[in-house]
Copies of this chain bind each other. A is one copy, B any other.
């Protein structure tokens, strides 16, 4: 399942709870567009802000609405014990894979990060994607740590942050470290095309969670060896990438989903706040200019 476009939808949530109806429609829309997999409860899906019960309901809704498109479910939590419970819930919901970032409060040493993956993979029966996201976890994966973890059973993929420069060298270096069975996936949407063109197997995509056709066009161009065309498609999205960099991709996609009527206006949990009225107008102007109304 770790190939092509993995689309990460929002989980619409406000102070009253998760809007499961809107969520199921978001997921069904991605499956209908033909994405290769769905990343439920990723960072864009706000997993860190939801209770175990909410996450179980969201995982079930995702698998149901995906109608056979494989669903990967985020199981990250600060405590190993909670991660194990979330892994069980995700598997019971029918997840084809799980996604695990090493959340931190106390900074973790490499042995502690490794120990987390060792404890969790010991109890898994589906593949796990290692989620390397220093912007949210503040864990810096060394190459040695990546290699140690990737040698554990059930490791199916590594999701790396964006590679703004030196993508070819970075991808080649990681490839040399990881078992051939471990798929390499790129995130950081605005430079993702560089990862894809450098041989990453999959794009773990925020854009794809709300604009699956646009993200698919880019992914298919890169997969079929049309690197220049893929680059052009990514370059054309630069006004949107600029908004991602300025506000964070989550807040921009939350504003876009609300504008498209896919969710209510409030769709992020406090303390996160949606963009203000002027920022939303900017987002809408960019979507209009790019023809992003799918």
**A contact residues vs B (CB 8 Å cutoff):** 15, 43, 48-49, 78-81, 102-109, 111-113, 115-116, 119, 135-136, 138, 248, 250, 269-273
* CB atoms of B105 and A270 under 8 A apart: no
A-B contact pairs, 27 of them (CB 8 A): A15-B81, A43-B105, A43-B106, A48-B105, A48-B106, A49-B78, A49-B79, A79-B270, A80-B269, A80-B270, A80-B271, A81-B269, A106-B136, A106-B248, A106-B272, A107-B135, A107-B248, A108-B271, A112-B271, A113-B271, A115-B270, A115-B271, A115-B273, A116-B271, A119-B270, A119-B271, A138-B138
Chain B residues, Cβ within 8 Å of A112: 271-273
* CB atoms of B111 and A273 under 8 A apart: yes
> Which listed residue (B79, B102, B105, B108) contacts A103, Cβ 8 A?
B105
A121 to B7: give the CA distance in the assembly, Å.
38
Most buried by B among A15, A78, A107, A273: A78
* CB atoms of A272 and B108 under 8 A apart: yes
Most buried by B among A80, A81, A106, A138: A106
- Nearest Cβ on chain B to A77's Cβ, whole angstroms: 9
A208 to B107: give the CA distance in the assembly, Å.
22
A103 to B108: give the CA distance in the assembly, Å.
16
Nearest 4 A-B pairs (CB), nearest first?
Answer: A48-B105, A80-B270, A116-B271, A49-B79
Most buried by B among A79, A103, A105, A111: A105
A271 to B114: give the CA distance in the assembly, Å.
9
